[in-house]
Amino acid sequence: MFKVNGNQIEEFKLYLAKFIALKGISATREGVVASLKFLTTFIKEQLNGEVELLPTSTNPAIYTELRGKNSETVLLYGHYDVMEADDLGWQTPPFVLTEIAGRYYGRGCGDNKGQLLAQLLGIATYLREYGELPINLKILIEGQEEQGSRDLNKLVKKYQTSLLANIDYVLVIDGSKNVNGKNVIRLGNRGLLAFELGVKVATRDLHSGNFGNVSENAALKLIGYLNKCYDFRTKRVKIPEFYADIQPATTQELEWIKKLPLPQGQPGSNMAYYHKLMFEPTFNINGMQSGYTGAKLKTIIPHKAFVRCDCRLVWGQRPELIRRQLEQLYHEELARGELEIKFLAEIAPSKTDSSSPYLMELIKTIREVTGDCLIEPIMPGTVPNYVWTDTLKVPTFTVPFANFDQNNHSVNENISRQAFWNGIEIIYHFLERKKRYYGTNI
C-alpha cells in the first residue's frame, strides 16, 4: 500500500514551503496573483490539466477538469486564500514554512493550502504511477473563502449547466479532524443567520442626573427589543416559526454520534453534547455596544446602542424565512423608525443523506490509510456546502485532512506532517480503489 516516503517527503515539503511563502491574503489580495500562478503551473505540469480562471468580484477561482477512463465524476473543492498574519505571537515567521516537532508551521498550513496541496499531490502521485485516472475529476479552488465565499453560489449557478454539470458528488477538503485525532467524514453543517439591531434615541449622550426619567435610554430600549425575540429565562427564540421545520436526527445519525468521543472535561453524555451541537439551533449575542465603556464612571444616558446576534440553524430551518419573520416581528418599530435591522450573513444549512452509496467507499478508503474513520452527521460550524447540495443538488462530503489543533485563523497555524502525508495518501488510495472497482487496466 502506498505511503509517503523517502525523497517524496522533501519534495512535498518543498512544494508546501513555496505555496506558503506566496501568501495569498484574501482581504488585501497580497500574493493572490503569485498563488494563482503557482497553482496554474502545478496543475499544468503535474496533472496535465488545463486551467480556467473564473472571475469574481475580488479573487478569481481556479477550475480544471481531468478526464478519466470511466464516467463517474467527482468535484474536489478547496481554497487558496488565507487570513492575514503578522509576526506578533508567532513562534516562527508566518509565511516561512518551519518544521518543529513533527509539524509544519505557517499561515495556510491547515486552512487551507496544506489540505489543498495534499489533494493535488495525491492526484499527481497517482498519475506518476498509473498515467491515467480511473474517473473524471473536476477541481474548483476558491479565492474568497476567507471572505465568507461571497460569490461562490453565483459562480456555481453560472456554471452548473456547463463546467459543473454531470457531477456525481462533491468532496470538500477543509476543516479539522475529530478532537481525538481521528479522521472524520461530515455529511452536513449548520447554517447561519446573523443580524444587528440598532437603536438611536437622540443626537448625543445626556447627563443622567439632568435628564434621567425624562429622556429615553437607548441601551434599555434595545434590551426591551431583544426580549421580544429571545426569552432569556427559558432560553428559547421567540421569532415566529423559528422551530417549526426542524428535522429530528435519524436513527443512523444517533448511532454515529454515540461513537464520537466526549471532549476531555466536558460534563454529561456524548449524546447530549453532540445533539446540542448538531441538531439544535442557537441564539448568540456576539457583540454589544452602548454608552461609556472606559475605565472610570461616566454618568450618561446613552443615545445609541446596537447588538449583533447570530443564529446557527439546523436542517429544515430556512434562513430567508426566519429573516422575513424577524422583520415582521419588528414591523411596527421599523415603520416608526425606532429600530434598525442590518442582516450580516445568511447561509442555509446543508445535509447529505446518510444512505448515499458513495459514503461507504469513502469510509473504506480512509480506514485503509489511517486505520479508523468517524462519521459526524453535522458539522456544528457553518460552511457554504448548500451551494453543492441545494444549487448543484449532489451529495457532498466534507473530509478534513488537518489536525484538530491546527490553530487556523490564529497564531502558530500548523498541520502535522502525518496529517499532511495522510491527506496525500487518502486521495491516492481513493483513486486506486476506483481503479480496482472499475477493473481498469491502466
- Tell me the CB-side half-sphere exposure of residue 145, using CA atoms within 13 A: 29
Predicted local confidence at residue 431, as pLDDT: 98
Determine the 3-state secondary structure of 166 from DSSP: coil
Task: State the alpha helices, DSSP H only, in 79-207.
Answer: 113-130, 152-159
pTM: 0.90
Domain chopping of the chain, boundaries: 7-189+350-438, 191-248+275-347
CATH number of 7-189+350-438: 3.40.630.10
Identify the CA nearest to 401 among candidates 122, 144, 133: 122
The CA distance from 341 to 92, in Å, is: 43
The CA distance from 314 to 396, in Å, is: 17
* Cα distance between the two ends of the chain: 17
Percent of the chain at pLDDT above 70? 99
Average pLDDT over residues 146-154: 94
- Tell me the CB-side half-sphere exposure of residue 47, using CA atoms within 13 A: 25
Separation of CA 143 from chain center: 13
Domain 191-248+275-347: give its CATH architecture: 2-Layer Sandwich (3.30)
pLDDT digits (tens, 9 = 90+) for 325-361: 999 999 999 999 999 999 999 999 999 999 999 999 9
The three three-digit cell numbers of residue 203, written as one number: 443626537
pLDDT digits (tens, 9 = 90+) for 244-295: 999 999 999 999 999 999 988 899 999 999 999 999 999 999 999 999 999 9
210, 401 contact by CB (below 8 A): no
User: In the predicted model, is pLDDT for residue 315 greater than 60?
Assistant: yes
User: In the predicted model, is pLDDT for residue 442 greater than 70?
Assistant: no
184, 90 contact by CB (below 8 A): no
User: In the predicted model, is pLDDT for residue 305 greater than 90?
Assistant: yes
434, 12 contact by CB (below 8 A): no
User: In the predicted model, is pLDDT for residue 202 greater than 50?
Assistant: yes
Mean pLDDT (the chain) is: 96
Average pLDDT over residues 34-63: 98
pLDDT band at 148 (very low <50, low <70, confident <90, very high): confident
Task: State the alpha helices, DSSP H only, in 184-312.
Answer: 208-211, 218-229, 251-258, 270-279
Average pLDDT over residues 50-54: 98
120, 47 contact by CB (below 8 A): yes
